[in-house]
Amino acid sequence: MSKPVNRIYFDNAATTPLDPLVLEAMMPYFTDKFGNPSSIYSYGRESRLAIENARKSVAKILNAHPAEIFFTSGGTESSNTAINAAITDLGCRHIITSPIEHHATLHTVEHLSCYGDVELSMVKLLPDGHVDLDDLGRLLANSSEKCLVTLMHANNEIGNMIDLHAVGNLCKMYGAIFHSDTVQTVGHFPFDLRNTPVHFITGAGHKFHGPKGAGILYINENVRIKPYIHGGAQERNMRAGTENLYGIVGFAKALELATGEYETQSAYIRELKLYMMEKVKNAVPGITFNGDPLGRSLYTVLSVSFPKTEKSEMILFALDMNNICVSGGSACTSGADQGSHVIRAINNDPNQVTVRFSFSKHNTREEIDFVVEKLREMI
């Protein structure tokens, strides 16, 4: 089978290529419209207007108020800000999270539990990798302290999704603060934040064909926190530092495009995922799929575990040699790489090698055919 393109990119959960229309929207702010948004002359006012228009656009798409949207450097900064604020400003002394969160969350809560006199609890997972909501309810009910619940909307490795409303309503029942890492879902699913019981959500432009280094933190209007980064008065005194002007413009444009294309593109990408599942299942014996790929799951992500052999252990290297970009995620690996904490938590089988395939609107069935044929040859 001939290779359809020079490089096959199946790692869109890690990052996505910049949309040409996003670059077009950003370009004037690299060149002519370079004013500092804090300056009072016309160049500065022009830049300030671009940022505020971007804020209004993002807020409208997410059905939030513009005053609830703060621009950041990305998901990591946004999650760090929200989690730290819940402890330092909102009185939370007990953090409840899951063992499969992104490290931007896990490393933050572990740091706080070590140095911040904060209790840390891990909610149980069901066999399919979903969060056990009954256990979450028990943890909330039995806590003597005010809780912060931080659970990601969609897992970046296996794709499992929580029900934001179910978790949010549980938090409301017990007076808990709810932060959700929504980096994998902002730009991929519609949001209605006015009618979602959540205090903080996050977003990163490079996950939906926007620029790297540009993200958002949504802070519900009923929440009052202090800045995490101190300095100037940018972002209404909430996030100091000269704004990433072109990144913010690009974030808003990418979100606008992703929202406009949601119905057609999500259906197309979901079909690619199902096609890949069918093809790889028929081509490679003994594989398993991680998480709940046919249930409440991110349509862009497919996690596949292959039986461990001398050949399959080299699968990422072999795919890379064929110009195929994917991510690994085995439970246990040799050397410095400790493997995936997500896979260890749900499928701690040392006799499997896990690969994450993640798709975008640019991928095709022909690419999947080529990759599956290569997998069959390799394994």
Which residue among the candidates 114, 147, 171, 332 is catalytic per the annotation? Answer: 332
Q: 208 with 347, same domain?
A: no
Q: 106 with 212, same domain?
A: yes
Q: State which of 203, 230, 260 marks the end of a domain.
A: 260
Q: 242 with 271, same domain?
A: no
pLDDT of residue 332: 42
Q: 243 with 370, same domain?
A: no
Position 3 in a domain: no
Q: State which of 227, 260, 293 marks the end of a domain.
A: 260
- Residues 6 or more apart whose Cβ sits within 8 Å of residue 160: 100, 128, 129, 130, 154, 291, 292, 296, 297, 298
pLDDT of residue 338: 66
CATH number at residue 43: 3.40.640.10
Please choose, from the candidates 116, 110, 134, 111, the residue with its C-alpha nearest in 3D space to the C-alpha of residue 124: 134
pLDDT of residue 92: 98
Q: State which of 202, 228, 260 marks the end of a domain.
A: 260
Q: 275 with 132, same domain?
A: no
pLDDT of residue 310: 84
Position 34 in a domain: yes
pLDDT in tens, the chain (379 residues): 444 458 999 999 999 999 999 999 999 999 999 998 999 998 899 999 999 999 999 999 999 999 999 999 999 999 999 999 999 999 999 999 999 999 999 999 999 999 978 999 999 999 999 999 999 999 999 999 999 999 999 999 999 999 999 999 999 999 999 999 999 999 999 999 999 999 999 999 999 999 999 999 999 999 999 999 999 999 999 999 999 999 999 999 999 999 999 999 999 999 999 999 999 999 999 999 999 999 999 999 999 999 988 878 889 999 999 999 999 864 444 344 567 999 999 987 888 899 999 999 999 999 999 999 999 998 8
To the query of whether residue 332 is one of the catalytic residues in this protein, the response is yes
Q: 276 with 243, same domain?
A: no
CATH number at residue 356: 3.90.1150.10
Q: 246 with 156, same domain?
A: yes
Q: 133 with 229, same domain?
A: yes
Q: 38 with 173, same domain?
A: yes
Position 1 in a domain: no
Residues 110, 64: Cα–Cα separation, whole Å = 31
Q: What is the pTM of this model?
A: 0.95
- Cβ neighbours around 351 below 10 Å, total: 10
Give the structural domain span for 324: 8-17+262-378
Integer angstrom CA distances of residue 373 from 268, 269, 366: 22, 20, 11
Strand partners, 289: 304
Please choose, from the candidates 213, 289, 203, the residue with its C-alpha nearest in 3D space to the C-alpha of residue 18: 213
Position 193 in a domain: yes
